[in-house]
Chain A
Amino acid sequence: MRRILLLALLCACTKQAPTFELRPVSQRELATAPKPSALVQPDPNLRVQIAERAHLQGKLRALALTDISARPDAAIASADALLSDAAASDEAKRSALEVLGGIDAPAAARALAKRVDIQTSHEPWIRASAAFELGRQSFDGIVPEMCAQLKYETDGETVVWIAALLAKHKNFCGLDGLRVLALRGLTPEVQDHARGMLAQLATDAGFADSDALYAAWNSADPGHTLPREEPSPELRAEIWRRIAALGVFDLKLVDDARFVLSRSPVWVVEMLTQALHEDAPHLRTCVAQSLERMGARASSACPALVQALEEPRMAPAVATALAAIGCAEALEPLVRCTQAGHDAELRHAAARALGVLGSQRSIDTLSELLAKADTADLRQTAAEALVGLGKGELGAQLLIECLTRPGADHDTAEAALERWLALGTDTQLLDAWRALAGDPNSTPTVAQAAERHKARAALLSKSK
């Protein structure tokens, strides 16, 4: 009996600490996700009607639209085919875009979204018109695709209409583009348009001004002041497709997916948190990077991310994400990750994260790393992180050495020293440092950059 008891005790006590569970998350989700249906065959008669409608005005033009829309599937296919025809006139194409905008259906929205793509439509007016017409649609499944277009769009008017249609679905990632256009749009008209849209979006969302809306969008929105919308199953499926795309080889697809996910509303965080358990290592690492790029908006992911520090392949990316999001509860786990015995990659990422999160505990830990870390590289990282915490003087000497030490990260040391000097009171020294920057209108050669590092190291060494 005693032996059995001892055996039971042994079994209970030796049960392993829980490991970080991995599974094929996105593929399972996508297996049951709704798929877009294919377009029907275009109808040549309808196509003629759409083209002829271009010559009508006023009520007749509206009536023709009603007529054409009576067979929505065929009308969508015909308008889409007309838009693909290089020989079709601009008037006919404009009519086709209006027809698509007038039919509130997923297929019409998808056909319009295709025309907002800069690779499909080289003429800016088509992209702008398509984005405007898309704003009349209620289907939200095109939101990720439109968000991705913001990465590439060069036409101001198109950016304004994309931002408007995204905001309609409670995605305010277009505010960034609008704010840039309002200040630096190519023409006064574009600047006015952007300013007007910013004001409109703020009013519609219930904010006093667009700055308040922008601040709410970029925060964890603790007061739940942002308007929210329940995503459709199609939109959720699109988000899962973007998550799955994080695991493919193609750099552009990965970059686009990270861009879209990090600019999606906060309901996406729950899906990304699930995907941290994805069994494909590249995918789950890129999920952590997507959360990182969401910043404070991903704060609900903090507990899951702290847990994800246990997974060695993505732990460095997780540490970076914890810092970017500002997860205060990650402080102690990150301090532990800087200790000897952990992977060098994680130690560096954790040290940088402490430099972002701050606190006396971070300063103490980084100071210890600066003094005792076993590699020069990690000591440099600690010195750079201390600059971020206003303690640059602790690591300045090391950073000066890093400006010229072979193998050191000269440019990052240089940037850290400049930040440190800018935070200080010695304006003469800062001016002398900046005077060594070289011609701001030309890119230096490798040799010129090395000379600059050397001159700046000499300047700071002399000034001590």
Chain B
Amino acid sequence: MRRIFGVLAIVAALVVLVAILRTPPPKAEAAGSFTSSEQCKSCHEQEYAEWSSSWHALSWSDPEVRALSNDFQNADCIDCHAPQPVFETGVAERVLPRTSRRGEGVDCIACHALPAGHTSGGRVAGTRTVPDAPCAPTALRDLGSSAFCASCHDQHDTTKQWRATDYAARGIGCIDCHMSKRPEGERGRVHTMIGGHDIELVRKAVDFRGRADAGHWMVEVENIGAGHHFPTEERARAADVFWRPLDGAEHPWKQVYRFRSPYHHEALPDTLLPAHETRPIPIADAPSSAPIEVALFYSLKPYWADPEHPDPEHEARLVKRLELKP
């Protein structure tokens, strides 16, 4: 009898074992089970506030982006505008689109979250390892590397452009300009991550000068500060040189040159200005015997409301302005 009970007990144990082994485990919750960047706010108030005011936070909701992507009907845009965590898809690998919390855009989780079971044992990547902290950050050098930014920002070759510059050779990377260190005495870097939307940063990128040349005015644009082409990134970005006579009367601006990487279907030359290079731009219609006003404007979208009569003062932002006088 005892034998029968023994066999039955073994069989019962086996059945339980089999049930355990054959039931697929619930899928691991990715990104360490973070569900919103809001979760970061209570401990990282300053960073959260900076990020909230950044264009990374607006990458999904920016009306310009929504208009250009046809409200993300162009699904290819979602990859970078609501990306899965970079550490999940792979540093320097192309990102993949998220299906959750898209409203948060490029959020804390996208950059910091580590996949569940990461070899470091941490839940997020940071600059210090603090196992006891609630988010268990692990110091990972990849986080601050330009390769990390490349996952999104090399989709339009910006990181590639940077690699070809002197900056890369000197070890000056993306975060050195776009994520500056906080003032002396404060830790960490500023999470506003300024870029083309910050006109002061754009102004630091170029030198704009003019001179007379063989009876006409000539201007030069030199890329003195951008660690990549000017402008760079999305093909929507453009910089334009305009001029008009300076004789006290009202004159419309006349366009002389455009810096831009066109969309494939436009079949136009790529005129982006590489780092350290200078582009001379003759103004053939402007004899150097008369004074003129010349300006460099920067646009976040490529098309003018009226292409025949562009209005840069209202549709673009002034980068630099010169008065050229005989």
Binding site for B on A (CB under 8 A): 2, 6, 9-10, 13-14, 16-17, 118-119, 122, 151-154, 249, 251-252, 254-255, 258, 281-282, 285, 289, 310, 312, 315-317, 320, 341-349, 352, 374-378, 381, 406-412, 415, 443-446, 448-449
Q: A122-B267, A411-B66 are in contact. List 6 more A-B contacts (CB 8 A).
A: A10-B14, A118-B267, A251-B155, A345-B30, A345-B99, A443-B67
- Give chain B nearest CB distance to A240 CB in angstroms: 20
Does B164 make an interface contact (CB < 8 A)?
no
Q: Are the C-beta atoms of B154 and A343 separated by less than 8 Å? A: no
Interface of B is mostly: loop
Q: Are the C-beta atoms of A449 and B61 separated by less than 8 Å? A: yes
In the bound complex, what is the Cα–Cα distance between A60 and B324 (angstroms)? Answer: 63
25 contacts between A and B (CB under 8 A): A2-B7, A17-B22, A122-B267, A152-B265, A249-B154, A251-B79, A251-B156, A252-B264, A255-B76, A289-B75, A312-B30, A315-B27, A316-B99, A341-B27, A346-B27, A346-B99, A374-B35, A375-B100, A406-B38, A407-B104, A410-B103, A411-B60, A411-B66, A415-B71, A443-B67
- Give chain A nearest CB distance to B247 CB in angstroms: 33
Indicate whether A282 sits within 8 Å of B27 (C-beta atoms), given known contacts A17-B22, A152-B264: no
Query: A13 to chain B: which residues have CB within 8 Å?
Result: 14, 17-18, 21-22
Q: Are the C-beta atoms of B28 and A343 separated by less than 8 Å? A: yes
- Give chain A nearest CB distance to B96 CB in angstroms: 6
Interface string of B3-38 (1 = CB under 8 A from A): 000010010001001100110101111100001111
In the bound complex, what is the Cα–Cα distance between A418 and B106 (angstroms)? Answer: 26
B30 contact from A320, A344, A381, Cβ within 8 A: A344
Interface of A is mostly: helix
Query: A6 to chain B: which residues have CB within 8 Å?
Result: 10, 14
Q: Are the C-beta atoms of B58 and A377 separated by less than 8 Å? A: no
Q: Which of B10, B63, B71 has the most CB of A within 10 A?
A: B63
Indicate whether A443 sits within 8 Å of B64 (C-beta atoms), given known contacts A118-B264, A407-B103: yes
Query: A375 to chain B: which residues have CB within 8 Å?
Result: 35-36, 100
A345 contact from B21, B93, B100, B264, Cβ within 8 A: B100
Chain B residue with Cβ nearest A449: B63
In the bound complex, what is the Cα–Cα distance between A160 and B79 (angstroms)? Answer: 32
In the bound complex, what is the Cα–Cα distance between A412 and B191 (angstroms)? Answer: 26
Query: B18 to chain A: which residues have CB within 8 Å?
Result: 13-14
Q: Are the C-beta atoms of A344 and B17 separated by less than 8 Å? A: no
- Give chain A nearest CB distance to B65 CB in angstroms: 10
Indicate whether A251 sits within 8 Å of B103 (C-beta atoms), given known contacts A343-B29, A443-B63, A443-B67: no
B29 contact from A249, A344, A448, Cβ within 8 A: A344
Query: A415 to chain B: which residues have CB within 8 Å?
Result: 71
How many A-B contacts at CB < 8 Å in the complex? 132
- Give chain B nearest CB distance to A342 CB in angstroms: 5
- Give chain A nearest CB distance to B110 CB in angstroms: 12
Q: Are the C-beta atoms of A349 and B37 separated by less than 8 Å? A: no
Q: Are the C-beta atoms of B100 and A341 separated by less than 8 Å? A: no
Q: Which of B26, B99, B265 has the most CB of A within 10 A?
A: B99
Q: Are the C-beta atoms of A119 and B267 separated by less than 8 Å? A: yes
Interface string of B125-144 (1 = CB under 8 A from A): 00000000000000000000
A343 contact from B27, B38, B64, Cβ within 8 A: B27
4 nearest CB pairs, A to B: A409-B103, A341-B26, A152-B265, A13-B18
Query: B60 to chain A: which residues have CB within 8 Å?
Result: 409, 411
Q: Are the C-beta atoms of B94 and A249 separated by less than 8 Å? A: yes
Does B98 make an interface contact (CB < 8 A)?
yes
A377 contact from B22, B35, B67, B267, Cβ within 8 A: B35
A407 contact from B37, B71, B76, B93, Cβ within 8 A: B37
Chain B residue with Cβ nearest A247: B94
Q: Are the C-beta atoms of A343 and B63 separated by less than 8 Å? A: no
Does B288 make an interface contact (CB < 8 A)?
no
Q: Are the C-beta atoms of A407 and B38 separated by less than 8 Å? A: yes
In the bound complex, what is the Cα–Cα distance between A320 and B30 (angstroms)? Answer: 18
- Give chain B nearest CB distance to A399 CB in angstroms: 12
Chain A residue with Cβ nearest B94: A249
Query: A14 to chain B: which residues have CB within 8 Å?
Result: 17-18, 21-22
Does B180 make an interface contact (CB < 8 A)?
no
Q: Which of B211-242 contact A (CB under 8 A)?
A: none
Does B84 make an interface contact (CB < 8 A)?
yes
Query: B103 to chain A: which residues have CB within 8 Å?
Result: 377, 407-412
In the bound complex, what is the Cα–Cα distance between A449 and B61 (angstroms)? Answer: 9
In the bound complex, what is the Cα–Cα distance between A2 and B37 (angstroms)? Answer: 58
Chain B residue with Cβ nearest A408: B103
Does B62 make an interface contact (CB < 8 A)?
yes
Query: A282 to chain B: which residues have CB within 8 Å?
Result: 89, 93-94, 96
Does B325 make an interface contact (CB < 8 A)?
no
In the bound complex, what is the Cα–Cα distance between A34 and B265 (angstroms)? Answer: 30
Query: B156 to chain A: which residues have CB within 8 Å?
Result: 251
